[in-house]
Structure 1
Amino acid sequence: MSLPDSPTVVLVHGAFADASTFARIIPGLTARGLDVVAPAVPNRSLIGDSAYIASVVRQIPGPVVLVGHSYGGAVITIAGVENNVRALVYLAGYALEEGESLGELQGGFPDSDLSGALVYTPFPVEGSTTPGTDVSVRTDAFPAIFAADVDPHLASVLAVSQRPLAAQAFGEKAPVAAWKTKPSWGLVAAADHTINPEVERFGYQRAGMTFVEVDSSHLVMLAHPERVIELIEEAVRATSA
């Protein structure tokens, strides 16, 4: 049964993935009476992606709980300042400080296994003669780095259906940090080989948010869906009228 004044849960995916990575938690959330939206993030630039998600949030009538996985955490850090955002939930995500980039936050900690498995590919930029650079993960390395505890057949599908992230996104600085004004929750994927778990812990602790740790790969929503649903539900209940 839904709570009075229940928010819409907006699920923001990260780099090298798409909204299908939320497939195991969406049924659980809707079964609890929650409305869910899982938009496709362009993955072109941090500022542009955040503006796009903010536009999605603004068009939702009523309150929103904004959930970001991985790079999606950086996106909700910016988009989360929208007036109808009631709470933020970070899943193995980046909780950036105002004026900080992904590269700067990661640079303070040892590299994860991801750094040695990245592939850089040029792509055409409309209106420019200079191509952009897409960043993806080597398909042979993807399952172990990204989805070690996910069904191997599914991991192999995810490896060849990646949504790359434009390299530009790594250097852009967050103009705001929504966690400074919005209640926030976090989940550390303690067995993460994509983002160093210390990066996740540091960001959450700096923000003063409530967080839990799960012995999981980066794709915690697929590996441990019930733990993710519980955390989102906690944020919903704590911030519902």
Structure 2
Amino acid sequence: MPAFPAFFRRLHIVAVAALGLASLPAVASADPVKNVILVHGAWGDGSNWSKVIPILAAKGLNVTAVQLPLTSLADDAAAVKRAIALADGPVVLAGHSYGGSVITEAGNDPKVSALVYVAAFAPDAGQSAGSLNATVAPSPLAAEAKPDAEGFISLSKTGVYDDFAQDVTPAEKQLLYVAQSPTNVKSVGGNVTSAAWHDKPCWYIVAAHDRAIQPALEAEMAKTIKAKTTTVEGSHMIMLSKASAVAAVIEQAAH
């Protein structure tokens, strides 16, 4: 925001006081945000951001990649809120896939200055990642997601290799498959209680070749939340296959 000349700053203060509006929320600072918290999605962990982290760190940003328990939306949001509490100033939250639901819930914290959705779900209050996904035809990955008796969902090898991360290296595919974190239905099926995107500036990255979330649904969610939107030619795991493009959008949100 351009700085007001001194006269206009004084005039603004007098007008606010006269109208009894001094209790209005302060305008967000134009200074760059130094803290970024990265939130992985279902079947993932913090290492999913391994290529984005050094790019952001080289730009002088303080980066934290949380480890979600993936046991429920409430548990996952609590993990992000703990990370926010430890930050020494304003924070940009970036969420991938189901992590979009998590930042939508946790992003109501007053320290959060912006939200970045990376091929991610952006539910409104009363919606979940699962309910949003059910509004469109099943993605190719849907047939490769297998729940166990305790409600934890895992991906088949075919699902990881062909639909989740089809454009990463063979070694990366193997690691994603072997080290995947089974995800409880209470996470992907957990309803958001209050959607932070109503009150926070948002960025959205659509993955043009996503086979986990329909790209058309991603574009529709980006439009709904009035996000600054970038389309990247990549798979669902664009933070691995197109790390520079993802990092660039997160940096924009911080500045």
Match for residue 94 of structure 1 among 87, 111, 121 = 121
The alpha carbon displacement at 1:162 in A equals: 0.2
Which residue of the other structure, out of 151, 159, 170, is the alignment partner of 2:188? 170
Query: What TM-score does the superposition give when structure 2 sets the normalisation length?
Result: 0.86
Q: Give the CA deviation at 1:114.
A: 1.1
- Return the alpha-carbon distance in structure 2 between the equivalents of residues 11 and 68 of structure 1: 6
For residue 63 of structure 2, what is the aligned residue in structure 1? 36
Conserved in 2, the CA contact under 8 Å of 1:9 and 1:64?
Answer: yes
- Alignment deviations for residues 98-148 of structure 1 (CA, whole Å, 9 cap, x no partner): 1112222111111101111012123xxxxxxxxx31101002331111111
Matched, 1:157 2:184: no
- Could you tell me how far 1:5 is from its partner in structure 2? 5.1
Partner of 2:74: 47
Matched residue, 1:125: none
Preserved contact between residue 32 and residue 254 of structure 2 (Cα < 8 Å)? no
Where does residue 129 of structure 1 map in the other structure? none
Q: 2:134 pairs with 102, 107, 110, which one?
A: 107
| One-letter amino acid of the structure 2 residue matched with residue 204 of structure 1 | A
**Is the Cα–Cα contact under 8 Å of residues 145 and 159 in structure 2 kept in the other structure?**
no
- Report the residue type matching 2:140 in the other structure: D
**Which residue among 51, 55, 63 is the counterpart of 1:24?**
51
Q: For the residues of structure 2 that align with 1:28 and 1:170, how far apart are their CA atoms?
A: 29
- Counterpart position of 1:62: 89
1:220-231 → structure 2 map (5 Å cutoff): 220-231=238-249
Select the residue among 228, 231, 234 that pairs with 1:210. Answer: 228
- Give the residue type in structure 1 aligned to 2:158: D
Aligned with 1:194 (options 206, 212, 215): 212
- CA deviation profile, 1:156-176 (whole Å, cap 9, x unmatched): 121111011101223221001
How many residue pairs get matched?
A: 226
Query: Which letter does structure 1 place at the counterpart of 2:55?
Result: G
Question: For residues 14 and 173 of structure 1, what CA distance do their matches in structure 2 show?
Answer: 16
2:211 maps to a residue whose letter is H
| Identity value in percent | 37
Report the AA paired with residue 136 of structure 1: S
- Structure 2 portions without partners, runs of 5+: 1-29
Residue 71 in structure 1 maps to residue 89 in structure 2: no
SS in 2 for 1:211: strand
CA RMSD, Structure 1 to Structure 2 (Å): 1.3
Aligned to 1:136: 154
1:192-212: per-residue Cα shift (whole Å, max 9, x none)?
A: 001111221111111111111
Distance 1:156 1:10 in 2: 26
Mind listing any 5+ residue stretches in structure 1 that lack a counterpart? 123-131
1:127 is matched with none
CA contact (8 A) 1:188 1:201 kept: yes
- Distance in 2 (CA, whole Å) between partners of 1:65 and 1:27 is 16
Letter in 1 for 2:142: S
Q: Which amino acid aligns with 1:236?
A: A
**Is the contact between residue 58 and residue 82 of structure 1 (CA under 8 Å) also seen in structure 2?**
no
Which has the larger Rg?
2
